[in-house]
Structure 1
Amino acid sequence: MEIDLPVRQLLNADSKLGEGVLWDAARGVVWFVDIKQHRLWHYDPDTGSNSFTEAPGQIGWALPADNGMLLCGLQDGLYVFHPELSTFEKLAAVPGEPAANRLNDACTDPWGRVWFGSMDDTESAASGRFYCFDRGEITPAGPSGITITNGPAVNAQGDRIYFTDTTAQKIMVANLTPDGVGEARPFADTGALFPDAYPDGPVVDAEDHVWTGLYLGGRVARFSPDGELTATIDMPARDITKLAFGGADFRTGYVTSATKNMTEDDMALYPQAGSLFAFDAPVAGFAQTRVRIG
């Protein structure tokens, strides 16, 4: 079950809450965010060059769009990021979202729609829910009444979408079509397998298996399409947040991590915490569809 793979530290980003890692195939770079320090990072694996742009608030995710920009989820709504100018422009607020909430994680589906979640910034109220952004229109879609949402993640065929309820230690799945999303049903009870860890950002590989970071768990875990645990990979950080497949063959696993809940003693045990990591994946991922803005 446990796969022994060498894991590389690519970048010591000193992230408080590294998240939202994504491979931008057109640019050949990795994007990820540090939510609590308001940073949008890029990392070029060919050269090692990297930099961050400060966002105008807590930034949960950034997804490449079909117009050359990035669509980003911030605390107060959706923004467009201009990579050449390193500037953010607000696109829309999310209707009905409480002021104490923020946006947390997201993905695209094969039709270029964006699926994203909101959550209580204090991680105490069950005020989070999921939404769909489709060519400028934002509508509630998927589970609600969640304290910490993560994902969603969509498989390559576009017929399944996974929603994570982090606090409840559960991953859900629903049927997906071009017309919308079905009722969410249980997929994996990670609490039964990792009682002291919490499922964070999920992603699906080319074999239709679901991977998730395990916050407080020090590893990533892989589940079969039936929700059975098939593999884990130990990581050199305790609080693992999100994984993405990238590289020319989509066989590099890029992983973000966090430090915001770690003490000095914790950091002594995990001195690379807060970094961007990578490993050579035993399976491939697949290219993510770019956001369809309009």
Structure 2
Amino acid sequence: MTAPTCVWDLKATLGEGPIWHGDAVWFVDIKGHRVHRYAPATGETSSWDAPDQVTFVAPRVGGGFVAGLKSGLHHFTPEMGFTFISEIEDAGLDNRPNDSTVDALGRLWFGTMHDGEEADSGALYRLEADGSLTLHDAGICITNGPAVSPDGKTFYHTDTLGKVIWAFDIGAEGSLSNKREFFRLAIEDAWPDGSVVDAEGFVWTALWGGRGAIRISPEGQIVQRVELPAINVTKPCFGGPDLKTLYFTTARKGLSDEQLAAAPLCGGLFALPVDVAGQPQYEVRLDLR
């Protein structure tokens, strides 16, 4: 396997949430309050300011993106910016959304987390087409890595500080049951961050503090580890015409001047060719009135 390449050295404070949509990688800088787009065919880069912390963007059937901000869910388009849709939780919790995924039926799954990374106030939600939210899991400080298996039967959800990835069975109507431990990270000074599942059902998980990512079998065993020249790797996504390029977002948040001097590409966007393709990026089914 070739080494990952930094394709955009943008030095994001907290790069997160990459997705492949419209022949480009879309991602966010949560603490930088920006949405970014990178088009690999041309190398073109674009950025848009957000009104507050923007944590994910997910393409929507009918156009634009559903965006998670600390203030709630928004509809985002590059032309019109951000339009408020609804609140997520009581502002008194001091929570914000974090990671997200869209399943093959167009349902958006996302977690919330305590913005100060102290209280176990985070939860996992599913967004319905009518805009309502269904609560599925709770009591987590930093939620991460929602992802779905290719057959649509297994859902993965990460407790970053607990260093565990949970698996659930998905019911026909989107219910989650049979919560069980899928994987527990035993690497010192590293925490499981965002995840994505490839076409063979293997889970790729970014390692915050771990300078790379791991590929985990459906049985919960590490089968591959890749290293990046960045300390805090936040999330992978599959892109390219054949979905055989892994893109990784990274972060500079929490690193000392000495660490940044030794790893100056922290906060960049990286690309890595892989042998096994990913799943398509599905679009959110959400009625906007």
Q: Which interval holds the TM-score relative to the shorter structure?
A: over 0.9
Counterpart code for 2:61: D
Deviations 1:241-276 (A, max 9, x none): 000001100000000000011111101111111000
Confirm whether residue 114 of structure 1 aligns to residue 86 of structure 2: no
Alignment of 1:1-294 (within 5 A): 4-24=1-21, 27-83=22-78, 85-96=79-90, 98-179=92-173, 180-190=175-185, 192=186, 194-294=187-287
| Structure 2 Cα separation of the partners of residues 213 and 30 of structure 1 | 17
Counterpart code for 2:10: A
Q: Give the 3-state SS of the residue equivalent to 1:9 in structure 2.
A: strand
Deviation of 1:160 (Å): 0.9
Contact 1:71 1:80 in 2 (8 A): yes
Deviations 1:208-255 (A, max 9, x none): 000100000001001000111111000110000000001100000000
Contact 1:8 1:279 in 2 (8 A): yes
| Structure 1 Cα separation of the partners of residues 229 and 80 of structure 2 | 31
| Structure 2 Cα separation of the partners of residues 234 and 31 of structure 1 | 22
Contact 2:154 2:167 in 1 (8 A): yes
Contact 1:164 1:199 in 2 (8 A): yes
Deviations 1:8-52 (A, max 9, x none): 11101110000000001xx11110000001010011111111111
Point out where structure 1 has 5 or more consecutive residues left out of the alignment: none
Deviation of 1:184 (Å): 2.0
Contact 2:89 2:95 in 1 (8 A): no
Q: Give the 3-state SS of the residue equivalent to 2:25 in structure 1.
A: strand
Deviations 1:161-217 (A, max 9, x none): 100000000000101133122142100001x2x121000001100000001000000
Deviation of 1:293 (Å): 1.1
| Structure 2 Cα separation of the partners of residues 96 and 181 of structure 1 | 24
Q: Give the 3-state SS of the residue equivalent to 2:258 in structure 1.
A: helix
Q: Give the 3-state SS of the residue equivalent to 2:132 in structure 1.
A: strand
Deviation of 1:86 (Å): 4.4
Range with bigger deviation, 166-175 or 151-160? 151-160
RMSD of aligned residue pairs (Cα, Å): 1.2
| Structure 1 Cα separation of the partners of residues 93 and 52 of structure 2 | 13
| Structure 2 Cα separation of the partners of residues 247 and 228 of structure 1 | 27
- If the length of structure 1 is used for normalisation, what is the TM-score? 0.94
| Structure 2 Cα separation of the partners of residues 238 and 290 of structure 1 | 31
Counterpart code for 2:281: Q
Q: Give the 3-state SS of the residue equivalent to 1:182 in structure 2.
A: strand
Runs of 4+ in 1 over 6 A off after TM superposition: none
Contact 1:35 1:58 in 2 (8 A): yes
| Structure 1 Cα separation of the partners of residues 133 and 6 of structure 2 | 39
Q: Give the 3-state SS of the residue equivalent to 1:91 in structure 2.
A: strand
Counterpart code for 1:77: G
- If the length of structure 2 is used for normalisation, what is the TM-score? 0.96
Deviation of 1:282 (Å): 2.5
Point out where structure 2 has 5 or more consecutive residues left out of the alignment: none
Q: Give the 3-state SS of the residue equivalent to 2:283 in structure 1.
A: coil
